[in-house]
Amino acid sequence: MLGRLNHVAIAVKDAEKAAKIYGAAFGADISDAVPLPEHGVTTVFVTLPNTKIEFIQPLGEASPIARFLERNVDGGIHHVCYDVPDIITARDTLIKQGARVLGDGVPRIGAHGKPVLFLHPKDFSGALVEIEQV
């Protein structure tokens, strides 16, 4: 059911600054900053040969990333994202297996313009998991 690793998200105070560090160190391509008000973040992607790194910064005081950064002042890994061919089938299968979907369980459009869902970290060894329909 799970496909390849789509990206690893790192929460930071300044996504563009963090992405430039990766770009300089690894010669990686860097996307423009994209605000996603429905998720409360601004994203910048660094494209590597085998995956992407998503830098996320808070967009507004109510952002869940703002709370994450209060607990993790220097930033840190926020979540991992995996591709799935059909997000509804994946969601239903995961729920049957005991996983908890965060929010109302209805996929929302993510940073790549595709449906995403987040899964409770307590069900995945402490890691927040995002699934994205490819």
| Residues taking part in catalysis | 130
Which residue is listed with tokens 């992407």?
52
Backbone angles phi, psi at 83, to 5 degrees: -75, 145
CA nearest 101: which of 110, 92, 89?
Answer: 92
Q: Which residues contact 78 (CB under 8 A, 6 or more apart)?
A: 9, 10, 11, 56, 65, 68, 128
Rounded to an integer, what distance in angstroms lies between the CA atom of residue 67 and that of residue 31? 25
Cα–Cα distance measured from residue 113 to residue 24, given in angstroms and rounded to the nearest whole number: 27
